[in-house]
Structure 1
């Protein structure tokens, strides 16, 4: 495994992390604690230490499963979570950025994760109006001073987030999490110069384009109703799968598309880490091996 310093946090994180959105039950599978424990055992073997979760991946469900899995060695992990939503069911969330409510969300996340502190607490996909609330950031700063939060960050929507990035310094944010993958890159690349200027730690989310770059699906694929991809516009889904197939056909036979997709993100010097999801230990191990491609001497590999 390789490690990067996550921006101005000065924390060393594995460049391949573990996304946990799938633990919330919206990706076509319900996880047992035993299955999650197995994933984290594989993560230990591969020397991953970076976990990204959220209050609204299930009603703190992903946090609960994660917290139980890492309780025995909590201090070995860098745990990032988020705030701003209440989960009411699949595709049913309400928005909550009021300082008092966020403080309650934080306490619930700490209980679910079975921890006294969260390494990185992230403002999650809020509007500019919700972001520009001095009382919110004052409350969060107090929680930092109390030791319940170690670092603050932003996890932004796909568009219209430059104002929030420009104001990251003012609110004390040290990291930025944004959508960046081979199929969806322009908005992030436009933001990278400002991220670099502020030394914001950049976390690339959806690095395999919701699994379309996993190599598992071919054009014409369909998804069950309990899978979030079932709600994606059919024309956009088909276009993504067609482009994934084109990329796969251009890669050397011994380079898996999923590993290449992660390495492609990490090959950008602005990106500190990627946080792909996984459903099996085998997928996690495969994700971790993406770092091997970063040592590839063929400079054309990431210009496809």
Structure 2
């Protein structure tokens, strides 16, 4: 495994992280604790130390799976990133909750679910500018840092063109940006990445496999179950993306190289990217993801 400094924090994170939205039950699988344990054990064995989760991956369900695991392992082996801003109601149904009192409740609920005393990286979760511009929110969160419940703040931007939040990240005390970045969506290269570099912000690339499309496993016309978030994607757009994936596989991926590993390494070769946080359904996919580091020259 390879590690990089996460922006201006003192954290050294594995370049391959572990995205855990799937543990919340919206990617076609309902997990058991032993299944989660296998995935996290495999990640640990491969040197992965960064876990990214959120308050609304289930009603703190993903966090609960992770917390149960962490409680039986060494907390210091992991850098835990989670998020705030939503109240989960049911599958694919959430309500925005960015006011200070709601966020404090979410923070305490996340700490309880994760069974930890502090969160390494607490991220503003795809919120609107009106919520971002609430100075009292950031004052409240700064007090939680002083209280030891949070180590660092970050922003998970909802859209790649939200430069208002990116450019004002350090002003609110954020030290990281999380954005969608992959071979099919290169928008952050234009403005987000230069701003991250100028502010020394850690950059976490989410959806680096384009919702699994860049794994090379799916062909145009692929269908997904109703409890898989990809079932909600526009079918025509999905087909177009999968046709593009086929072209990339033929023209850009070297023979004999796993496409998922190639796609992750492609992201990491951009000097602005600190780490990628792909999801994984099983330990075999964790292994495939980790193999991306063999394609890096560093």
**Are 2:130 and 1:129 aligned?**
yes
Aligned to 1:267: 269
Aligned to 1:102: 103
Deviations 1:123-159 (A, max 9, x none): 0000110100111001100000000000000000124
1:219 is displaced (CA, Å) by: 1.2
**Structure 1: distance between partners of 2:159 and 2:126:** 9
The normalised TM-score by structure 2 is 0.98
Task: Structure 2 unaligned segments of length 5 or more: list them.
Answer: none
The farther-off stretch of 188-197 and 35-44 is 188-197
Contact 1:40 1:70 in 2 (8 A): no
Deviations 1:168-192 (A, max 9, x none): 1111000000000000112454211
Q: Where do 1:11-30 residues align within 5 Å?
A: 11-30=11-30
Aligned to 1:302: none
Q: Where do 1:49-198 residues align within 5 Å?
A: 49-71=49-71, 72-198=73-199
**Structure 1: distance between partners of 2:220 and 2:232:** 16
**Structure 1: distance between partners of 2:102 and 2:6:** 28
Aligned to 1:292: 294
1:283 to 282, 285, 288: 285
The farther-off stretch of 210-219 and 146-155 is 210-219
RMSD, aligned CA? 1.0
Residues 189 and 259 from structure 1, CA distance in 2 versus in 1: closer, same or farther, beyond 3 angstroms? farther
Aligned to 1:200: 201
**Structure 2: distance between partners of 1:148 and 1:122:** 13
Residues 18 and 175 from structure 1, CA distance in 2 versus in 1: closer, same or farther, beyond 3 angstroms? same
**Structure 2: distance between partners of 1:160 and 1:97:** 21
The farther-off stretch of 244-253 and 190-199 is 244-253
Structure 1 segments of 4+ aligned residues over 3 angstroms from their partners:
none
The farther-off stretch of 91-100 and 242-251 is 242-251
**Structure 2: distance between partners of 1:239 and 1:62:** 31
Contact 1:131 1:164 in 2 (8 A): yes
Contact 1:179 1:188 in 2 (8 A): no
Contact 1:178 1:188 in 2 (8 A): no
Residues 247 and 7 from structure 1, CA distance in 2 versus in 1: closer, same or farther, beyond 3 angstroms? same
Contact 2:160 2:187 in 1 (8 A): no
Residues 208 and 123 from structure 1, CA distance in 2 versus in 1: closer, same or farther, beyond 3 angstroms? same
The normalised TM-score by structure 1 is 0.96
Task: Structure 1 unaligned segments of length 5 or more: list them.
Answer: 297-304
The farther-off stretch of 12-21 and 164-173 is 164-173
1:254 is displaced (CA, Å) by: 1.1
Deviations 1:199-237 (A, max 9, x none): 000000000000000111111101111100001011110
Contact 1:80 1:120 in 2 (8 A): yes
